Amino acid sequence: MYSDLQEKPNVKQIVILASGSGSNAEKIITHFREQQTAKVSAVFTNKSTAQVLDRCKRLKVPAYSFNRESFVGTDQLLGMIQSLEPDLIVLAGFLWKIPESFIQAFPNQIINIHPALLPKYGGKGMYGSKVHEAVKENGETETGITIHYVNEHYDEGAVIFQAKTKLTPEDTPDTIAQKVHELEYEHFPKVIEKLLTQHGE
């Protein structure tokens, strides 16, 4: 697992936490395989049936599922992630709140992507289609993505990057989701790469 790291000691390590299909995780994995400035050393999911596990198997990236007890009840998962010595922990569609022990262990090293322009449409329960339905219901003329640092509160960490997309009255929650996904796929790997470069300076 670590043989290529010995050849490239400057390769940064990324750990991804995901809860769902893993489309963003796959974009990040493939982006850094091409760039070779960093690599995704492991993916962790809180759902044993999450599609991200299938993606990781196909992409030959180590992937593990875990339960709530190992996440918040013990330091088991924290210890596993610490052993990988990640430069950045990336939440890519991960829905559980991050425990304070993680935030203390990895200060300014945990980032999240949110499918709206925070501070709008953030907070507990605001994820995925629920965000897009609320955006549609309120007749917003634009939406977008927010990449931010993770702190002890949902969606309240310092904003790193935002990108916007225009909406029309004809847009549905599904078409809004498509527009937001396009922004995620375009920008998330690039923002991660920029952060890792800054961390190395």
pLDDT in tens, 17-31: 999 999 999 999 999
Q: What is the dihedral of CA 125, 129, 132, 136, to 10 degrees?
A: -110
Q: Which is catalytic among the residues 31, 114, 132, 148? A: 114
Q: What is the predicted pLDDT for the residue at 198?
A: 82
Residue 114 appears among annotated catalytic residues = yes
β-sheet bridge partners, residue 159 = 148
β-sheet bridge partners, residue 110 = 89
**Coil, strand, or helix at residue 41?**
strand
With bands split at pLDDT 50, 70 and 90, how would you rate the model's confidence at 8?
low
Q: What is the predicted pLDDT for the residue at 146?
A: 97
Q: What is the predicted pLDDT for the residue at 154?
A: 84
Query: What's the CA gap between 46 and 65, in Å, rounded?
Result: 5
Instruction: Give which of 18, 14, 109 is closest to 64, Cα–Cα.
Output: 18
- Phi, psi (rounded to 5 degrees) for 113: -115, 130
pLDDT tens digits, one per residue of 99-153: 999 999 999 999 999 999 999 999 988 999 999 999 999 999 999 999 999 998 8
Q: What is the predicted pLDDT for the residue at 200?
A: 53
How many secondary structure helices (H) and strands (E) does the chain include?
8, 7
What does R_g of the chain's alpha carbons equal in angstroms?
Answer: 17
